[in-house]
Chain A
Amino acid sequence: MLYREAGQFKASYEADQQIFPILQDRVGVLLLIGFFALVVPLIADQYWLKAILIPVLIFSLAAIGLNILTGYAGQLSLGSAAFMAVGAFGAYNFMLRIDGMPFLVAILLGGLCAALVGVMFGLPSLRIKGFYLAVATLAAQFFIVWALVKIEWFSNYSSSGVITAQEIEILGYAFDGPVSKYLLTLFVVVVMALLAKNMVRSTTGRAWMAVRDMDVAAEVIGIRLMRTKLTAFAVSSFYCGVAGALYAYTYIGTVEPEGFNLDLSFRILFMIIIGGVGSIMGSFLGAAFIVLLPIALDVFVPMFLGDLVSSSFVSNLQLIVFGGLIVFFLIVEPHGLARLWQIGKEKLRLWPFPH
C-alpha cells in the first residue's frame, strides 16, 4: 500500500532514467536530506555534530568507496584506510604548496591522487583474484603508510610526521564552526553518494557487476577486463581519498599516517559487510552501526553496571557485546542491514493486506 508502484507510469526517457524511479523513494530521500541539512543543524548540539554525525558521514563515504570495489566489482580490498591517507596527505600538500588553492578542488585533487595510487595497486587484480588480491591490497596498506612516514616531504618535514589541516575557506567564508563543517561534509557526501548511486546502474556499474559475477563470461560478452577492474579501483580509491581528506579537514584536524592503519581498513570492511555488500544505502547503515554502537555501549553499559563492576570489566564487556551483536546480525541477516530495509519495503508494498 505504502510502497505501491502501480500507476507510476514513465512517459519519457528522463522519467525512466532517474536515480530513484519510484516516487516514494524520491520523496523519502528528499525528506531525509532535508532533515539532515535543515533540521539537524538546528537541534543537534556540538557533541552530536562533531563527534557523531561528521564521522558517520565520512565513514559512509569511505564505505561507499570500498563497496564500489568489493560489493560491485567483486575485488576484495584491505587497503581502504591507506587510500584515505593518500587523500588526506594529497589534499594537505595541494593546500600547502599552491597559493589560493580552493578547498573543494584540493579535496578532489587529493581524491585523484588516491585514484592514481589505487590504479597502481589495482594492477595485480588483472592476474590474481579473491584472497590473493586481498593480500596484494594489504601490501598497499602497509606500503602507503610506511611511505608517508618515511618520505618527510609529504608531511612538510614535520618532526613527528603529522599534518595539521589548514583552515577551510570557500569564497571568503570560513568553515570553522561545527555546523558549517557538518553542512560541508554533508554536501560532499550527499553529492558523491548520489553520483555513486547513479554510476552503479550505468554502463560502468553494470560492467563491474558482470565482472563480479563471472569475469570470464563478462569478457566473452565484450567487457574489457582491464579497463573495468582499473576503473573500479580508481573510482573506489577516489571515494576513499575524498573521505580521507574530509577526515583530516572537517573531522580530526591533525592526522598522523598511523591513524590510517590496517585496523581502520578492517573497520571499513566490516561496515560494508554489516551494512550490505553491493548497496549504497548499506554503506550508510553499516558506517552508522560500526561507529555508533561502540559509543552507545560506552555510554549505556557503565550507566547500568558502573557501580557494580570494575571499569576494566565494563570496557571488556563492551567489546564482547559489540562482537556478539555483529555475529547476531550476520546470522539473522547475512546480506546486511540494507537487505532488512529491502524486506521492509516489500512488506510495506503489500501492507495492510499480506498474502
Chain B
Amino acid sequence: MKLKKTVILGAAIAGLLGSSMAVAAEQFIGLPSYRVGPYAAGGSGIFGGWIDYMQMINERDGGINGVKLAWEECETEYNNARGVECYERLKSKGETGNSVFQPLSTGITYSVLDKVAKDQIPLVTMGYGRTDAADGRVFPYVFPLITTYWSQATTMVKYIANKEGGTDKLKGKKIALLYHDSAYGKESHAVLEKMAERYGYELTKLAVAHPGNEQQSQWLQIRQLRPDWVILWGWGVMNPTALKSAAKTGFSREKMVGVWWSGAEEDTVPAGSAAKGFTAAGYNVAGADYPVIKDIETNVYAKGKGNMEDKSRVGSVYYNRGVVHGLITVEAIRKAQEKFGKGKALTGEQVRWGFENLDIDDKRLAEMGATGFLPPLKTSCMDHEGSGKVKYQQWDGSKWNVVTDWIDADKELVRGMIEESAAAYAKEKGITPRDCSKEM
C-alpha cells in the first residue's frame, strides 16, 4: 500500500511540474497467499520467504535493473473459489497488471488453468499442479517449474535403488505407497506402476482418507505385508501421524521416504522422536547458511522489514521454498527485461517469455549465493519443467540434513507420459499445440 501511495504521489508531483520525468517503473506481483486454515504453516512460510526475497532485491539492488518489485497479498484460505476471486482481483493491478500467478494450491491451479491463457498471465506451479503442463506446446502459460510429481516418483525409486545397491536389486522388493486419498495422492500411481513393471518390485497402494489422523488399519496392513520400503505421499497432519504410527508399529523410519510435501519441519517436529531417521525429497534444502539467506538477514531482517513473525523459521524448508519462488520469479523478470527492455515494467506475456527461457546454471546460482540451494534450471518451449532434480534430506531429530546430491528424474519415462497426457488434453479441448521450432 505504501509503495502504491508513493507512486501516486510521485505521479502527481511529476504531473504538477509538467516535466517529462518518468516515474520509476514498478513490477507488480500478486500473491494469493494463505495464512489461515489447515495449511497455514506452509502458506505463511512460503509466502514469507518469497516476500522477504523480493524485499531483499528491492533493498540490496534497488529492484531489477531499477524496476522495483511491488506486491499485494490476497488471502485465499486454500479455497478454490476464494483463489479465483484473488486471481481476478490481482489480475489488473499495478502498472502492467499481475505479472505472475503462483497459488501454491493444486485446486486453485486447476481453477485458473484456462483463464491464464486468455489473460496472458503465466501460472507457475513449483512442485505441484498439473504434471502434463510441462509440455509447453499445449500449455504455453503454465510452468510446473523445477520438478513435478511424476519426476519425483522416479527419483524416489532411484533413491531406493541406490540404498539397495542398484536397480537390479529392486526385483522382488516390496514397496508400500501410503498416500493421501485425493487427486494429489493418486498422481504418483501411474509412474510407480510403470516402474514396477520395469524393475520388478511389488507395489502395494494404501490409501489414507483425508485428513489422515487415523491410520491404524493401514499400518496393520503394513505390519502384515512387511514391505522393504514405505513411500509416504502425505499432506498436512497425515505426515506426523504416519511417522508416529510407524514408530508404534516398529517400522524403521530409515526405510520411509517422503515427498516434498511431507518433508518440512512442520511434518517432523510434531512427531517428536518418532521422526528421527525419516528421509524426504526436496527441490530446495533447509538451512540458513546459504549466502542468499544471509543477504536476506542483513538487508531485510536487520532493517526490521522481515515478513516472518517467528524469525526462527528463516532457513526452514518452507521458508527456503518461498525464497526459491522469489528467486525464480525475479530471474524470469530479469530474463524478460533483457529481451523487452531493461528498466521497464513488463506485461504478463513478456514475463511468460522470461519463464520459458530461464537458464539458471551453476555459475548463475553461485552469483546469487544459492549453490546447492536449488537445482540448476533451464526451460524451453518444449520443457516447462526445466530440471527434475531433487535432493533427499534426513531428519536427525532436530534438523534436516542433506544426504544425497541432486538426483535426476527418469526423464525418458516421464517425458513420454507427459506428452501422451498433454496430447489427450489438447485433443479434448481442441488445442493445436505450438510449433516450438518457430518460437525463439
Instruction: Using CB atoms and an 8 Å cutoff, list the residues of chain A in contact with chain B.
Output: 46-47, 50-52, 55, 96, 146, 149, 156, 159-162, 164, 166, 251-259, 263, 291, 294-295, 298-299, 302-303, 306-307, 310-316, 318-319
A181 to chain B, nearest CB (A): 12
- Which residues from chain A contact B110 at a C-beta distance below 8 Å? 160, 162, 164, 254-256
Partner of B190 from the list A159, A252, A253, A313 (CB cut-off 8 Å) is A159
Q: What residues on A are CB-neighbors of B12 within 8 Å?
A: none
Contact (A159, B131) CB under 8 Å given A251-B84, A252-B84 = yes
A316 CB contacts on chain B under 8 angstroms:
35-36
A252 touches B89 (CB 8 A): no
Give CA–CA (A156, B425) in the complex, Å.
11
Q: Which of A55, A149, A256, A307 contacts B107 (CB 8 A)?
A: A256
CB of B80 within 8 Å of the partner chain: yes
28 contacts between A and B (CB under 8 A): A46-B92, A47-B88, A47-B89, A51-B84, A51-B85, A52-B85, A55-B84, A149-B181, A159-B186, A159-B421, A161-B186, A164-B113, A251-B81, A255-B110, A255-B111, A258-B107, A294-B77, A295-B82, A298-B74, A302-B1, A302-B73, A307-B1, A307-B2, A310-B309, A311-B35, A311-B73, A312-B40, A318-B75
Contact among B79, B107, B114, B187 with A164 in the assembled complex (CB-CB below 8 Å): B114
Complex Cα gap A251–B81 (Å): 9
Q: Is the CB of B85 within 8 A of A295?
A: yes
Which chain A residues lie closer than 8 Å to B91 at the CB level?
46-47
Partner of A159, one of B36, B187, B307: B187
Q: Across the interface, which residues of A come within 8 angstroms of B113, CB to CB?
A: 164, 253-254
Q: Look across to chain B and name the residue whose beta carbon is closest to the beta carbon of A295.
A: B85
A313 contacts which chain B residues (CB < 8 A)? Answer: 309
Contact B107 A315 (CB under 8 A): no
Are A306's CB and B1's CB within 8 A?
Answer: yes
Task: State whether B187 touches A315 (Cβ < 8 A).
Answer: no
6 nearest A-B pairs in the assembled complex, by CB-CB distance? A51-B88, A161-B183, A315-B35, A254-B110, A51-B85, A312-B35
Task: Decide: A259 near B88, CB < 8 A? Known: A253-B114, A310-B309, A315-B36.
Answer: no
B87 / chain A contacts, CB cutoff of 8 Å: 51
B residues near A161, Cβ cutoff 8 Å = 182-183, 186
Residues on A with C-beta less than 8 A from B428 are 96, 156, 164
Residues of A within 8 A of B34 (CB): 315
* Nearest chain B CB to A152 CB, angstrom units: 9
Contact of A294 among B82, B131, B421 (CB under 8 A): B82
A315 contacts B75, C-beta separation under 8 Å: yes
Give the docked Cα–Cα distance between A313 and B309 (Å): 9
**Minimum C-beta distance from A166 to chain B (A):** 8
Find out whether the CB atom of B1 lies under 8 angstroms from the CB atom of A303.
Answer: yes
- CB proximity of B333 to chain A, nearest CB, Å: 22
Question: Would you give the shortest CB distance from B348 to chain A, in whole angstroms?
Answer: 15
- Interface residues in B253-295 (C-beta closer than 8 Å to A): none
Main secondary structure of the interface of A (DSSP, over half): helix
Chain B residues near A52: list those with CB within 8 A. 85
Say if the beta carbon of B132 comes within 8 Å of chain A. yes
A150 → B minimal CB distance (Å)? 9
The distance in angstroms between the C-alpha atoms of A250 and B87, with both chains bound, is: 16
* B174 within 8 Å of A (CB atoms): no
Interface class of chain B by DSSP? helix
Question: Which residues does chain A contribute within 8 Å of B75, judged by CB atoms?
Answer: 298, 314-315, 318
Known contacts A164-B429, A258-B210, A315-B75; 10 additional CB pairs below 8 A are A160-B131, A252-B81, A253-B111, A255-B111, A259-B80, A294-B82, A295-B85, A302-B1, A302-B73, A316-B35
In the complex formed, the residue of A with least CB distance to B129 is: A160
Nearest CB of chain A from residue B308's CB, rounded to whole Å = 9
In the docked arrangement, what's the CA distance between A256 and B128, Å? 15
The answer to whether B33 has its CB under 8 Å from any CB of chain A is: yes
CB of B44 within 8 Å of the partner chain: yes
Query: Does B415 interact with chain A (Cβ within 8 Å)?
Result: no
B130 within 8 A of A: yes
What residue of chain A has the Cβ atom nearest to residue B88's Cβ?
A51
Say yes or no: A160 contacts B2, CB within 8 Å. Answer: no
A355 to B82, CA, bound (A): 47
User: Would B186 and A312 count as touching, CB distance under 8 A?
Assistant: no
Q: How far is the CA of A299 from the CA of B85 in the complex (A)?
A: 11
Chain B nearest CB from A354 CB (Å) reads 42
| Bound-state Cα–Cα, A284 to B110, Å | 27
Most chain A CB atoms below 10 A, which of B106, B110, B186, B187: B110
In the docked arrangement, what's the CA distance between A314 and B73, Å?
A: 11
Is B344 an interface residue, CB under 8 A from the partner? no
Q: Is the CB of B111 within 8 A of A252?
A: yes
Complex contact B81–A55 (CB within 8 A): yes
